């Protein structure tokens, strides 16, 4: 269990970067981040160096408009970035989830003094993490951490869990209650005295996402670091779907890695199966069939993520424009994302399992660490109950019921 070091300086290292150049540099960035990633997973080394490379890339401001100092990228661009990085290191890509959620909210929300400050931070290269969930509550999503007034400002005591990415971040976005029991959002520097990030995440998968605890001990929260929390607005509902598709895009990257690992294993280590007449593994019809099926799974998953991203792009554009059909488009985005999750979960988990058919018992050697793919995928698809999502979609198809689809939580 370890704590975060002092706050890192934040500065914009790619001020003149264009979207085209940033995306052109993405493969090289992914290659740097992915070097020795499987070995790091075995040693459980958190990807601090990878995050510094990501900061330098300028991709943290991908979604903000050029006139604000951003890159002006689409959600199609964003989810391709996430999948490409996930194919290199799924932990790093997953740990960007709160950051991209925050930038999307800033893009689509009213310009306020609070929001303008966060926008400047993103433009200057800051990464956002944070947490909402607490262990020990009656249901997931409930929280008890409450601000207490201290003169003109506030103090915070308590503990959060599932603080994915906060160990690598410059600011933490926290969902808490104010002194009147209302849900609010607090954004504070991660290096502030009284905030400790613990590396106590013990999940079987996504082990280096730093998804453990945040501990608050008399943490100072300035009055101007607090804003209302909104879930039911169009932006809140849209970003709810965006957070879910982020997980699916990470899974898409993992399955790309499954295909790459299967190919590398067959070419470098594989042997034909016992009863095969093939002289080599790469010429074995059974092995070819397995690799072909894995490739098809990856192709289908990527296509679903891209189409879903286009759907969310339409809803984002409608929200920004104040279009009369924005509500319908946001609902369409929630439905598309739930359907995508349901299908991709099955394809991805099957790919994580079938990888071993390309190599037999030797492929289970811990030296290859191939089991990380299934563990990581199973962890990702355990975030929200997919049986519930299937039921909600079915209720909509049969009865036009939209209750959960418009909550802005996990749809």
pLDDT in tens, 169-208: 999 999 999 999 999 999 999 999 999 999 999 999 999 9
Residue at token pair 């993520």:
305
- Pick the closest to residue 319 from 128, 63, 61 (CA basis): 63
Angle made by CA atoms 40, 42, 46, in degrees to the nearest 5: 40
Q: 94: left (phi > 0), else alpha (psi -120 to 50), else beta?
A: alpha
Look up the CATH architecture of domain 148-228: Beta Barrel (2.40)
- Mind listing the pLDDT tens digit for each residue in 344-392? 999 999 999 999 999 989 999 999 999 999 999 999 999 989 999 999 9
Give the Å distances, CA to CA, from 225 to 147, 186, 188: 12, 6, 7
- The structural architecture, per CATH, of the domain 234-406 is Up-down Bundle (1.20)
> How much of the chain exceeds pLDDT 90, in percent?
90
How much is the pTM? 0.95
pLDDT tops 90 at residue 67 = yes
Angle between helices 234-268 and 97-108 (to 10 degrees): 150
Q: What pLDDT, in 10s, does the model give residues 149-178?
A: 999 999 999 999 999 999 999 999 999 999
What is the spatial distance between Cα 259 and Cα 244, in angstroms, rounded to a whole number?
23
Q: What CA–CA distance (Å, rounded) separates 95 from 82?
A: 10
Domain ranges in the chain are: 19-127, 148-228, 234-406
The pairing of strands 171-177 and 128-131 is: parallel
Q: Which two tokens stand for residue 101?
A: 């959620």
Token pair for 321: 């424009």
| Angle formed at CA 83 by CA 60 and CA 199, multiple of 5 degrees | 65
Give the separation between CA 73 and CA 103, rounded to whole angstroms: 12
Query: Which class does domain 19-127 fall in?
Result: mainly alpha
Q: Region 215-219: what's the mean pLDDT?
A: 98
What angle (nearest 5°) sits at the alpha carbon of residue 262, between those of residues 210 and 47? Answer: 20
């Amino acid at each position: 269990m370890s704590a975060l070091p002092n706050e890192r300086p934040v500065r914009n290292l790619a001020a003149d970067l264009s979207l085209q150049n940033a995306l052109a540099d993405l493969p090289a960035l992914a290659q740097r981040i992915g070097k020795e990633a499987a070995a790091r997973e075995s040693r459980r080394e958190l990807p601090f160096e990878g995050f510094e490379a990501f900061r330098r890339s300028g991709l943290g401001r991908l979604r903000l408009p050029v006139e604000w100092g951003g890159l002006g990228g689409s959600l199609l661009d964003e989810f391709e970035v996430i999948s490409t990085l996930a194919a290199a290191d799924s932990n790093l890509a997953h740990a960007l989830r709160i950051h991209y959620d925050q930038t999307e909210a800033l893009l689509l929300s009213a310009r306020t003094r609070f929001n303008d400050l966060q926008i400047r931070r993103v433009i200057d290269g800051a990464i956002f993490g944070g947490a909402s969930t607490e262990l020990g509550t009656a249901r997931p999503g409930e929280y008890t951490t409450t601000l207490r007034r201290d003169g003109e400002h506030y103090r915070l005591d308590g503990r959060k869990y599932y603080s994915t990415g906060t160990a690598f971040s410059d600011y933490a976005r926290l969902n808490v209650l104010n002194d009147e029991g209302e849900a609010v959002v607090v954004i504070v520097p991660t290096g502030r005295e009284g905030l400790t990030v613990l590396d106590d995440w013990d999940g079987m998968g996504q082990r280096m996402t730093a998804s453990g605890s945040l501990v608050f001990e008399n943490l100072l929260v300035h009055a101007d670091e607090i804003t209302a929390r909104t879930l039911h607005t169009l932006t809140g509902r849209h970003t709810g779907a965006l957070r879910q598709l982020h997980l699916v895009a990470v899974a898409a990257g993992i399955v790309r890695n499954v295909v790459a690992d299967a190919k590398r294993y067959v070419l470098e280590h594989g042997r034909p199966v016992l009863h095969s007449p093939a002289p080599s593994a790469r010429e074995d019809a059974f092995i070819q069939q397995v690799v072909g099926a894995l490739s098809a799974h990856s192709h289908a998953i990527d296509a679903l993520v891209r189409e879903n991203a286009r759907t969310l792009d339409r809803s984002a554009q409608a929200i920004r424009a104040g279009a009369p059909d924005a509500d319908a488009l946001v609902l369409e985005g929630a439905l598309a994302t739930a359907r995508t999750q349901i299908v991709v979960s099955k394809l991805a988990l099957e790919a994580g399992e079938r990888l071993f058919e390309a190599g037999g018992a030797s492929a289970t050697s811990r030296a290859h660490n191939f089991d990380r793919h299934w563990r990581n995928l199973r962890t990702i698809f355990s975030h929200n109950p997919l049986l519930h999502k299937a039921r909600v979609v079915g209720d909509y198809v049969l009865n036009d019921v939209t209750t959960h689809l418009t909550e802005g939580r996990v749809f």
